[in-house]
Amino acid sequence: MNYRIASIPGDGIGVDVTIEARKVLDTAAAKYGFSLSWQEFDWSCERYAKSGSMMPDDGVEQLSEFDGILLGAVGFPGVPDHVSLWGLLIPLRRAFQQYVNLRPVRLLPGTTSALAGRTADELEMVIVRENSEGEYSAIGGRHNAGRPDEFVLQESVFTRVGVERIIRYAFELARSRSGHVTSATKSNGLIHSMPYWDEIFAEVAARYPDVPAQQCHVDALAARMVQAPDRIDVVVASNLFGDVLSDLAAAVTGGLGMAPSGNINPSGELPSMFEAVHGSAPDIAGQGIANPVAQILAAAMLLEHLGETVAAQAIRTSVDEVLTAGSARTPDLGGTATTTALGTVVAETLR
């Protein structure tokens, strides 16, 4: 089996960690009898600075034939975030209908939680984030510009199709792991979008009578992540709420250096894209101190998505072993190992 993989290292530490993830993927391929043909794309803020665009006009077309995409991170000082993200990350998520943003977190061995007295089995959850619509919308604008009565409108868009499919995905996932679903709502504040979300949640939940379901206001759910994370299993959330809750979930478990994510098109007809939850962290880029674990785990998710389940699990196990042994720790884990050293040790353990 040969898979065509597009690599977009992007900016900042995205570049540093993607090379390590690629090393681990190549090792997995050699060991488990499949091959990967890589093509690298220099789409980034650097490209934007030179050419005025994050990716070429036919960028989506170029990627559409790939079996998977590994994305580093995008963002660099000088390029406004809404330019860099809406010029690359967000259009790709939408063009490829990667409507699921899957963000599993767990407390990895050999690491400690920011929370007091929590054990690993209490800190394991998955955020299922809607990834194609919702609060992230380009609709809106400014009225009375430059006048004292100036104001800005920002529209959120929730479609039946979009809300239903993400909630269904969350229930399927919860069923497959014998878990339960918590829906993040804010129907008491946002009185159009969130009551609609709740309505569809109730409809879908009724079709999964075997899967326990509950809803929780996003403010209370954020508090629960800190005070009772053991009561959380699968969380389904809108684009914005999922964004916040998944960073938070990463923070209460191993930290952002450890949290992978998949932008998934469940149909498989268009490529899915995998990336660390963390950003490009330009302040520490190129210094060899970024933790590559999140990106390595994102690479494992890519293999999982391609059906290479055994190889994916082997990568995760290797990461666990390396962290348990403590033989290579980057500074965020209290060690002095470089990004490359940690990546290499994981690859060697896997081999």
Ligand X SMILES: CC(C)[C@H](C(=O)O)[C@@H](O)C(=O)O
State the DSSP string of 291-322: --HHHHHHHHHHHHHHT-HHHHHHHHHHHHHH
Check: CB of residue 216 under 8 Å from CB of residue 232: no
121, 149, 269, 283: which one binds a copy of itself (CB under 8 A): 149
Beta carbons within 8 Å of 134's beta carbon, 6+ residues apart: 156, 157, 158, 162, 193, 238, 239, 240
State yes or no: residue 44 binds a copy of itself (CB under 8 A).
no
State yes or no: residue 154 binds ligand X (CB under 6 A).
no
State yes or no: residue 65 binds a copy of itself (CB under 8 A).
no
The item of ligand X, a copy of itself, none sharing an interface with residue 286, based on CB under 5 to 8 Å by kind, is none
Mark 217-256 with x for binding to ligand X (rule: CB under 6 A) and - for no binding. --x-----------------------x-------------
The item of ligand X, a copy of itself, none sharing an interface with residue 263, based on CB under 5 to 8 Å by kind, is none
Report CA dihedral (74, 38, 53, 65) to the nearest 10 degrees.
-110
The residue range among 41-49, 106-114, 307-315, 339-347 that interacts with a copy of itself, by the rule CB under 8 A, is 106-114
Rounded CA separation 86/108 (Å): 33
State yes or no: residue 220 binds a copy of itself (CB under 8 A).
yes
Nearer of residues 100 and 311 to a copy of itself, judged by Cβ: 100
Q: How many whole angstroms from its chain centre is CA 149?
A: 39
Check: CB of residue 167 under 8 Å from CB of residue 200: yes
Check: CB of residue 3 under 8 Å from CB of residue 39: no
Beta carbons within 8 Å of 250's beta carbon, 6+ residues apart: 103, 105, 256, 258, 259, 277
Q: How far is the CB of 312 from a copy of itself (least distance, A)?
A: 26
The item of a copy of itself, ligand X, none sharing an interface with residue 82, based on CB under 5 to 8 Å by kind, is a copy of itself
The residue range among 119-127, 166-174, 216-224, 263-271 that interacts with a copy of itself, by the rule CB under 8 A, is 216-224
**Residues found near ligand X in the complex (CB under 6 A):** 85, 89, 188-189, 219, 243, 277
Residues that bind a copy of itself (CB under 8 A): 75, 80-82, 84-86, 90, 112-117, 135-142, 148-161, 186-196, 218-220, 222-227, 239-240, 243-244, 246-248, 250-252, 255-256, 279
